[in-house]
Structure 1
Amino acid sequence: MIVWLNGTHGAGKTTTSALVAELLPDARVLDAEKVGEVLMDIKPGLPATDNFQHWEPWRPLVVETARRVLEYTGGALVMPMTVLVESYWREISDGLAGHGIPIQHFVLHADQATLRDRIQNDRVLGPSSFRFAHLEPYAEAARTWLHEEAQVIDTTHITADQAAQQIAASVLGS
């Protein structure tokens, strides 16, 4: 099974994913961003883009990586990754479904003011124009398709631990 944690930067995906993995039996975190980093390391580089998700190989490589890891380890993979382009989400989710891998899709949501504050005051990454630039695309995706495709966990006023508890309860209850 895949437990996909979607949502924009600052919503708490990375922190929450580690906590969710601790609460689910035989769960591991697989960050699909690492697949993008592999592609970014190709020399000479792939065509210029502002987001590795636009590279055609990224999406099927995410599916294949998850499939192979699950085949090897069993259990569940908790995958924290922002996917705001609906066709990209369909390609990934359909690819996993085609391999018989169930997905529980969650969106970690916070209001815009909270997200801006978290990004501005991030002690690890610091303020990031890349992260700020994704706030409006996230809001658009949330309005048009994303919140209908997933269980929304509002992290505006709860801790990552509380979000993880809600996700684990939902996964284990199904």
Structure 2
Amino acid sequence: MIIWLNGGFGAGKTTLAGELHRRLPEAVVFDPEELGITLWRWVPRNEDFQDLDSWRELVVHTALALRRHHAEVLIVPMALVRDAYREEILGGLAAAGEEILHVFLDLDLAVQRDRLLSRAPEGEVPPGAEEWAFSRLDPDAAARQPEGTLILRSDRLGPGELADQVLAALPG
């Protein structure tokens, strides 16, 4: 089983992944952002590593390898804000026979902005990072999630309550 935690920046994906991992200690947490950072060491840096075909391909193959060789449950906290990329990655995992619980964390845009602004103390945010993150806020993203997506409000539920909902949605 792959539990994919999707949602905008500041929605609580990493926090929820930590809570799920605490409850499922045998699971492996895979953060595809690390692949993007690694790719940027090898290829010319672009605005968003998700735009790299190689990143999306590596995410699918790495998730498959981790799930097949290291864990019955893989927890993946990663925003897939472009619908085509979400379809490509989750579709690739499904085509390989993986069972996926796709969770989308939705929240009020004002709460999301506040969370983003409170992430790092002033002066520690790289120049342009706030604007980049704000440019990717998408208040209509929850409405475009595929059928079967578990949509949860992370501005109304705490991490423990969110984890309860995710675990209750797991098959068998």
Q: TM over 0.5, yes or no?
A: yes
Mapping of residues 1-174 of structure 1, within 5 Å: 1-24=1-24, 26-42=26-42, 45-46=43-44, 48-123=45-120, 128-135=130-137, 138-143=138-143, 145-146=144-145, 148=147, 150-171=149-170, 173-174=171-172
How far the C-alpha of 1:22 sits from its partner, in A, is: 2.2
Q: Give the distance between the partners of 2:86 and 2:80, measured in 1 at CA.
A: 6
CA RMSD of aligned residues (A): 2.0
Identity %: 33
How many residues were matched structurally? 167
* Equivalent position amino acid for 1:55 in 2: L
* Equivalent position amino acid for 1:122 in 2: R
TM-score normalised to structure 2 length: 0.87
* Equivalent position amino acid for 2:103 in 1: F
Q: What do the CA deviations read for 1:23-44 (whole angstroms, capped 9, x no partner)?
A: 23621210111111111111xx
Contact 2:28 2:71 in 1 (8 A): no
Contact 1:5 1:107 in 2 (8 A): yes
How far the C-alpha of 1:5 sits from its partner, in A, is: 0.3
Q: Which runs of 5+ in 2 are unaligned?
A: none
**Runs of 4+ more than 4 Å apart:** 123-127
* Equivalent position amino acid for 1:71 in 2: R
How far the C-alpha of 1:155 sits from its partner, in A, is: 1.0
Q: Give the distance between the partners of 1:80 and 1:147, measured in 2 at CA.
A: 17
Secondary structure of residue in 2 paired with 1:78: strand
* Equivalent position amino acid for 2:141 in 1: A
Q: Give the distance between the partners of 2:41 and 2:148, measured in 1 at CA.
A: 32
* Equivalent position amino acid for 1:85 in 2: R
Q: Give the distance between the partners of 1:94 and 1:157, measured in 2 at CA.
A: 30
How far the C-alpha of 1:77 sits from its partner, in A, is: 0.6
Q: Give the distance between the partners of 1:134 and 1:154, measured in 2 at CA.
A: 19
Secondary structure of residue in 2 paired with 1:5: strand
How far the C-alpha of 1:106 sits from its partner, in A, is: 0.3
* Equivalent position amino acid for 1:94 in 2: G
